[in-house]
Chains A and B, each alone.
Chain A
Amino acid sequence: ETGVTQSPTHLIKTRGQQVTLRCSSQSGHNTVSWYQQALGQGPQFIFQYYREEENGRGNFPPRFSGLQFPNYSSELNVNALELDDSALYLCASSPPSGRDNEQFFGPGTRLTVL
């Protein structure tokens, strides 16, 4: 059990809507990363948060945004949903710097955009 939790587990939205996904990181982890995984593909890095600030971003448009809270939990917001946004969204937390970059993934949120 990794300790990373995500909610909701499944979500169905329609094109143009907005969605918020939530993640609670493992205890003691101050870095949270979000990944998008399309069916049959590996996870793709969206962005990372460290101490409540964005600490790097992948090749995703600005309509993908996030937050990290003082307790290190995090949110991923996606505006103006498109059909191609349908995917498994994974949150991963990491321990403080100086340790190996092992990431602990949550179970994911399956988003379907109709």
Chain B
Amino acid sequence: SQKIEQNSEALNIQEGKTATLTCNYTNYSPAYLQWYRQDPGRGPVFLLLIRENEKEKRKERLKVTFDTTLKQSLFHITASQPADSATYLCALDKSDTGRRALTFGSGTRLQVQP
């Protein structure tokens, strides 16, 4: 069956360091992989999308890589700040049926210590 796993339920790092979050998937061939941020009691907010034919995508302090051979995506936040503390979700989308249904991982809770 299809499975999406995100590393460790929680990740604690010091302010200024780079946070690296992992998303692994099995039995899936996604056309896209997306990363969302979710704060407590709020809906997820879209951060970045990377296509299957892209290796890397950047946006300000964020960087996402996508390795379809390893079936893995890495999400990096450089120069992390306490305001980056949140839960980060990866989501896969096949998009071959025209139906935009996302399959989410369970998320990684990031805590950036000042």
Chain A contacts to B: CB under 8 angstroms: 2, 4, 31, 33, 35, 40-45, 48, 55-56, 58, 90, 92, 94, 97, 100-108, 110
Contact among B32, B44, B93, B99 for A105, CB-based, below 8 A: B44
* B32–A56 CB distance below 8 A: no
* A42–B99 CB distance below 8 A: no
* A42–B104 CB distance below 8 A: yes
Pairs across A and B, CB under 8 Å, 11 listed: A2-B43, A40-B106, A42-B105, A90-B43, A100-B32, A103-B102, A104-B46, A105-B43, A105-B44, A106-B43, A110-B41
Among residues of B, the one whose C-beta sits closest to the C-beta of A31 is B100
Q: Which A residues are CB-close (under 8 A) to B103? A: 45
Contact pattern, B 90-114, Cβ under 8 Å of A = 1, otherwise 0: 0101010111111111110000000
Give A84 Cβ to nearest chain B Cβ, in Å: 17
Interface assignment of B49: CB less than 8 Å from any CB of chain A: yes
Q: Which B residues are CB-close (under 8 A) to A55? A: 98-99
Chain B contacts to A: CB under 8 angstroms: 4, 9, 32, 34, 36, 41-46, 49, 89, 91, 93, 95, 97-107
A105 to B39, CA, bound (A): 12
Contact among A42, A48, A58, A90 for B100, CB-based, below 8 A: A48
Among residues of B, the one whose C-beta sits closest to the C-beta of A47 is B101
Given known contacts A100-B32, A101-B49, A48 and B44 CB-to-CB distance under 8 angstroms:
no
Q: Which A residues are CB-close (under 8 A) to B100? A: 31, 33, 48, 94, 101, 103
Q: Which B residues are CB-close (under 8 A) to A42? A: 4, 89, 91, 104-107
* A101–B102 CB distance below 8 A: yes
Contact among B34, B41, B101 for A58, CB-based, below 8 A: B101
A43 to B103, CA, bound (A): 8
- For the complex of A and B, the 8 pairs showing the least CB-CB separation, nearest first, are A42-B104, A105-B43, A56-B99, A101-B100, A45-B101, A102-B46, A42-B106, A105-B44
A4 to B9, CA, bound (A): 28
